[in-house]
Amino acid sequence: MNPRTISQDLLADLAQKAEASPRLRTHFNFHEGPASLVQRLIVQLGRGTYIRPHRHIDLNKWEMTLALSGTAEVLLFEDDGALRERVRLSPGGAVVALELPPQTWHSYVPQGAHAAFFEIKEGPYDPARITQFAPWAPAEGEAAVADYLRWMTKATPGSRYAA
């Protein structure tokens, strides 16, 4: 197998795909598939994408995020939905990578037209078994998503969304 690279052309292509996607995001896998023991992928976010807060419930399901382009904020939440912390990730910023411990409620909000990051986490990937979506946040497609996303972009630590 040949070495694989992350080029500016690849990031630009993924940005276009994210823009064209109904969910305003896309990904590019470096791992073989869901059964791979280490999941490695580029996640490209477009402005306006909504990633419902979630956590990985298995005790070994940590997640490492490394900024590649643009700026994104990682929002960390308490169990009751209160915003605990905002971590700003940017390749040239103060924080370029973040490792989330298992069972950490989190989401991502791009801070511009696009943001891309490289994600590494322990596999295998089984979304039904490892991902738990926050009951205090609307599901993708629900009418409340636009309002919740507006709250996410401005929320301060300690605040909770009020519908």
What would the two tokens of residue 135 be?
């009951």
Mean pLDDT of the 30-37 span: 90
* Tens of pLDDT, residues 38-92: 999 999 999 999 999 999 888 888 999 999 999 999 999 999 999 999 999 999 9
What residue segments make up the domains of the chain, in order of their start? 8-154
* Tens of pLDDT, residues 42-51: 999 999 999 9
Whether pTM > 0.85 for this model: the answer is yes
Residue 49: exposed, middle, or buried by beta-carbon count in 10 A (0-12, 13-18, 19+)? buried
May I ask the CATH class of domain 8-154?
A: mainly beta
Rounded CA-CA distance 18/35 in Å is 25
Whether residue 59 contacts residue 103, with contact meaning beta carbons closer than 8 Å, is answered with yes
Length of the chain counted residue by residue: 163
Residue-wise burial string across 142-163, b where 16 or more C-beta atoms lie within 10 A, e elsewhere: eeeeeebbebbeebeeeeebee
Cα 31 → chain centroid: 18
What would the two tokens of residue 153 be?
């972009």
What would the two tokens of residue 145 be?
């998503």
Distances (CA, A) of 56 to 91, 105, 106, 114, 152: 25, 8, 9, 25, 20
Please name the residue that has the structure tokens 């419902």: 52
